[in-house]
């Protein structure tokens, strides 16, 4: 029998998963099921199917994925495509077999074409070629999104498809190999300011524009969709404003008190020229971000300084 309250949150130790868990708990949802990668490797189909059959959650939130920056995506496109397809195939099909009622599939704004008109609307999906630097990841996300929609249609497993812009915030890793753009910038400029560095070299030209949303705002949007939406249509989730990477770097540098120069290595790729979401649909159901970019940068810097202080000095 399906337990009517329980939610299996896949990827609860990631930045998005942690935020969704915090928000679910703050709303009084106690029945949240989680498994670490060591307890349940989502690449293991048999283990995932068995777990879902045993746990029989009412809802599954898929916030687990292989995620990475431009360099990781360029170097290992096969791995990004394979792992993300495998994780979502196992979770979505296994959930249907286990009688799960609702699937929340976390997508990404990278599903939209490289030359997409801006701001990008939900209907622009599959209207042109993808950005080559993260095509493998984007193809997997498009397949997962369609799968969620098809399983809704064919099997009646309700699907929800939030598509977030670039996220940052509480619980992100500051490890340069794993961190997201904003945390990486915070670390670089706080460290450079403390070391009195004369220059910081940034990848690309700085001209690419990106939209940033604090992960707590994303969690609010996902919970709002769980309350108000019952169709598997895409809902873009963002603040609806973008900023160039150059401007962002300058903002972070100023907030960190960095006095040195900023240099741009234009031999490195910029990725997609612009990525700004049209967020009118999510706004129409009542979503409004609560954390401004300036406030978010301040919070992330505070968190990094705390993390740094708590680490043994090397």
Ligand X SMILES: NC(=O)c1ccc[n+]([C@@H]2O[C@H](COP(=O)([O-])OP(=O)(O)OC[C@H]3O[C@@H](n4cnc5c(N)ncnc54)[C@H](OP(=O)(O)O)[C@@H]3O)[C@@H](O)[C@H]2O)c1
- Token pair 């059959």 in the structure block, residue: 53
Compute the least distance from the CB of residue 276 to ligand X, in Å: 14
Structure tokens at 1: 């029998």
User: Tokens 């369609």 correspond to what residue?
Assistant: 146
Site string for ligand X, 106-125 (x = CB under 6 A): x-x-----------------
Tokens matching residue 107: 């997508």
Task: Identify the DSSP state of 120.
Answer: B
Both structure tokens of 293: 């970019």
Instruction: Please identify, among the stretches 36-44, 121-129, 189-197, 198-206, the one whose residues bind ligand X according to the rule CB under 6 A.
Output: 36-44
Give the residue with the Cβ less far from ligand X, 13 or 22: 13
- Min separation Cβ 245 and ligand X, Å: 14
Tokens of 312: 């043994």
Q: 41, 50, 241, 303: which one contacts ligand X (CB under 6 A)?
A: 41
Under the binding rule (CB under 6 A), the answer on residue 246 touching ligand X is no
Query: From the list 11, 271, 289, 296, which residue makes contact with ligand X (rule: CB under 6 A)?
Result: 11
- The residue count for binding ligand X (CB under 6 A) is 22
3-state percent helix, strand, coil for the chain, nearest multiple of 5 = 45, 15, 40
Determine contact, residues 218/206, Cβ cutoff 8 Å. Answer: no
User: For residues 35 and 17, what is the distance between their CA atoms, to the nearest angstrom?
Assistant: 12
CB 253 within 8 A of CB 197: no
Residue nearest to ligand X (CB): 14
Shortest distance, CB of residue 199 to ligand X, whole angstroms? Answer: 27
Given a contact cutoff of 8 angstroms between Cβ atoms, the answer to whether 186 and 301 are in contact is yes
With CB under 6 A as the contact rule, which of the stretches 40-48, 200-208, 226-234, 256-264 interacts with ligand X? 40-48
- Per-residue x/- marks for ligand X, 150-189, CB under 6 A? --------------x-xx------------x---------
Residue 137 catalytic?
yes
User: What is the C-alpha separation between 143 and 256, in angstroms, rounded?
Assistant: 40
In contact, 172 and 118? CB cutoff 8 Å: no
Contact flag: residue 73 with ligand X (CB under 6 A): no
Here the tokens at position 70 are 């431009």
* Positions that interact with ligand X (CB under 6 A): 11, 13-17, 37, 41-43, 63-67, 87, 106, 108, 164, 166-167, 180
Which amino acids are annotated catalytic? 137
């Amino acid at each position: 029998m399906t337990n009517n309250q329980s939610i299996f949150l896949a990827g609860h130790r990631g930045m998005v998963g942690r935020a969704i868990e915090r928000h679910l708990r703050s709303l009084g949802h106690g029945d949240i099921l989680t498994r670490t990668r060591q307890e349940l490797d989502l690449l293991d189909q048999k283990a995932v199917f068995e777990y879902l059959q045993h746990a029989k959650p009412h809802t599954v939130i898929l916030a687990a994925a292989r995620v990475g920056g431009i360099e990781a995506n360029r170097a290992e496109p096969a791995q990004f495509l394979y792992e993300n397809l495998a994780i979502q195939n196992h979770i979505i099909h296994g959930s249907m077999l286990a009688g799960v009622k609702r699937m929340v599939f976390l997508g990404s704004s990278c599903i939209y074409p490289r030359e997409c008109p801006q701001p990008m609307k939900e209907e622009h999906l599959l209207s042109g070629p993808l950005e080559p630097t993260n095509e493998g990841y984007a193809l997997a996300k498009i397949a997962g999104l369609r799968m969620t929609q098809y399983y809704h249609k064919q099997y009646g497993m309700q699907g929800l498809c939030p598509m977030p812009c670039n996220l940052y915030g509480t619980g992100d890793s500051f490890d340069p190999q794993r961190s997201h753009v904003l945390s990486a910038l915070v670390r670089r400029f706080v460290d450079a300011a403390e070391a009195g560095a004369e220059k910081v070299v940034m990848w690309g030209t700085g001209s690419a524009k990106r939209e940033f949303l604090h992960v707590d705002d994303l969690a609010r949007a996902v919970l709002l969709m769980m309350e108000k939406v019952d169709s598997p249509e895409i809902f873009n989730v963002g603040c609806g404003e973008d900023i160039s990477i150059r401007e962002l770097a300058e903002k972070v540098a100023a907030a960190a008190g960095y006095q040195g120069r900023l240099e741009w290595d234009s031999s490195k790729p910029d990725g997609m020229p612009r990525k700004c979401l049209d967020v009118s649909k999510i706004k129409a159901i009542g979503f409004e971000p609560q954390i401004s970019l300036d406030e978010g940068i301040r919070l992330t810097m505070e968190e990094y300084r705390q993390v740094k202080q708590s680490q043994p000095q090397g």
